[in-house]
Structure 1
Amino acid sequence: MPVVLDRPRFLALACLACIAYVGTSTTVAGAFAADRPLFLDTHVDIPSTYMVEPRFDSGTDTELQVDLGKMERGGLDAAFFIIYTGQGPRTAEGYAEAVAEADRKYSAIHKMVEIYPERIALATTPDAVVANRAAGRLSAMIGIENGYSLGRSLANVDRAFERGARYLGLTHFGHNALCTSSGAMPELGDDPDDASGLTGFGRAVVQRANRLGIMVDVSHSSDACVRDVLAFSRAPIIASHSAARALADHPRNLTDDLLRGIAEKGGVIQVVALDAYVKHDPARSEAIKALEADVARAAGADAFDHDVHGELPDYVEGLKLIDLQYPPATLDDYLDHVEHIAQVAGIDHVGLASDFDGGGGVVGWRDASETQNVVEGLRRRGFSRKDVAKITSGNLLRVWREVEAVAAELRDQ
Structure 2
Amino acid sequence: MTDTATEDFVETVEALPLDAWHRAKGGRMVEFAGYHMPIQYEGIMAEHLWTREHAGLFDVSHMGQLVFTGEEVAEALEMLLPADIKGLGEGRQRYSLLLADNGGILDDLMVTRLPAASPFDAEGGYYMVVNGATKWDDIAHLREHLDDDITLSHLYEQALLALQGPEAVTALARLAPGVEALTFMTAGAFTIAGIDCWVSRSGYTGEDGFEISVPAEDAEKLADALCAESEVKPIGLGARDSLRLEAGLPLYGHDLDPETTPVAAALGFALSKRRREEGGFPGHDRIMLERENGPILKRVMLVVEGRQPVREGAAVLDGEGSEVGRVTSGGYSPSLGKAIAMAYVPAASAAPGASITLNQRGKIFTGIVTPMPLVPHRYHRKGA
Q: Please indicate, yes or no, whether the TM-score normalized by the shorter chain is above 0.5.
A: no
Greater C-alpha Rg: 2
Bigger RCO of structures 1 and 2 (CA < 8 A, at least 6 apart): 1
Q: What TM-score do you get using the length of structure 2 for normalisation?
A: 0.30
Q: What TM-score do you get using the length of structure 1 for normalisation?
A: 0.29
Name the one with the larger helix percent: 1
Name the one with the larger strand percent: 2
